[in-house]
Structure 1
Amino acid sequence: MIWDEHEVADAIQNAVLRAYRAFDRYHDDASFRAWMFKILTNEIFSVNRKRGRIARFEVPLDAEEMDDFAELVSAAAETFSSWETLADALDEDILRALQALNEAERAVLLLRAIGDLRYREISECLDIPLGSVMGNLFRARQKMRGALVGKRGRRSP
């Protein structure tokens, strides 16, 4: 995703507008955060389709795109509390390990670890089965562990 600030602002505005218009279809028994993420995710996919960028699970990783993505998500769902702190904490080894994951694994891992979404919320947000969420998260964690333990030696939990 290569978005300029106008695309980000438009996507946020459209997602909030869609949520407002569809609020009568929101069910109290569902997670509001997952519902909002789903609307935001669909808006991102829609913008990408229109612009010819059709990666279903694309999660940005360069510093500028990470900031744009964090602003987009926090403005819409108020999930990320301090993206700058996280970006500062990510060193090159972690960034490389994240980039080595496939798009589905990366999306699930980031939504779980950074967005603090539950498995069911991730399933709803990405529109994939719960089992796929668990499998992708397991593989992502294994790959991250393998990449980071190899670089830094055994870490204690």
Structure 2
Amino acid sequence: MSQDPTANADRFLALLRPIQRELEIYCRRLVWESQEAPDTLQNAVMRAFAAFDRYDPQASFRAWMFKILTREALVMNRKHTRIARHEFQLEPEELAALATAAEPGPPEGRPPLPEAWDDALEGRLAAGLKILTDTERAVLLLRFIGELRYREIGESLGIPLGSVMGNLWRARQKMRAFLGRFMPGHRFLKENRL
């Protein structure tokens, strides 16, 4: 990298801007608490910029950036888990039942509005992501939000290609099963979009 700090900053921003939206979406999905996403993303960008002099221009900037963001999000989730342990404990089944009970349904006899469906699906997707392991969730999100190739996912997470494929397969199976309880027979699940 160049010794000129301004040139490095310009180069870093030029590489970051095209993937910024994908990083934001990925971060919101990966962290347990959505209000933590902006801080997590900012910390990851600051870490990446601080380490930019060690970035290999021959490597994928996208994969490198997602790797840094993944690590930062997992640290935030561990912090949240430690705090949550002291609050109260619910079994996963109780938590799922509570989430389902708390969701308001459409007025009696009326079909739900499309926005309501979007909100319900959004909540269920978020709940479904929480049943995945950290690695499964990261692989799934890197593939579908980051649109990284398997090799890039492996590089980002520091795992072999076979592990990427195995984790992605398990994540898809778990998400299909989880979402299938709420949307049995939905074309989204039948068409293997997940």
TM-score interval for Structure 1 and Structure 2 normalised by the shorter chain: 0.5 to 0.7
Q: State the match for 2:73 in structure 1.
A: 44
Q: 2:156 aligns with which of 125, 134, 140?
A: 125
In the alignment, is the contact (CA less than 8 A) between 1:97 and 1:144 conserved in 2?
Answer: no
1:55-70 aligned at under 5 Å gives the runs: none
Deviations 1:7-56 (CA, angstroms, capped at 9, x unpaired): 433322221111111111111221111111111122223334445549xx
More deviation, 134-143/110-119: 134-143
Does the C-alpha gap of structure 1 residues 97 and 131 become closer, same or farther in structure 2, counting only changes over 3 Å? farther
> Which residue identity is paired with 2:59?
A
Q: State the match for 1:114 in structure 2.
A: 145
2-side partners of 1:136 and 1:50: how far apart?
A: 24
Deviations 1:49-76 (CA, angstroms, capped at 9, x unpaired): 445549xxxxxxx9xxxxxxxxxxxxxx
1:10-49 aligned at under 5 Å gives the runs: 10-49=39-78
> Which residue identity is paired with 1:120?
R
Q: TM-score scaled to structure 2, two decimals?
A: 0.48
Q: Secondary structure at the match of 2:51?
A: helix
State how many pairs are aligned: 126
Q: State the match for 1:88 in structure 2.
A: 118
Gaps of 5+ in 2: 1-30, 84-98, 100-114
Percent identity reads: 57
Q: CA RMSD in A?
A: 4.0
Gaps of 5+ in 1: 55-61, 63-84
Q: Give the C-alpha shift of residue 125 in structure 1.
A: 2.5
Q: Give the C-alpha shift of residue 116 in structure 1.
A: 1.0
Which one has a bigger Cα radius of gyration?
2
Q: 2:169 aligns with which of 122, 128, 138?
A: 138
In the alignment, is the contact (CA less than 8 A) between 1:98 and 1:144 conserved in 2?
Answer: yes
> Which residue identity is paired with 2:161?
L
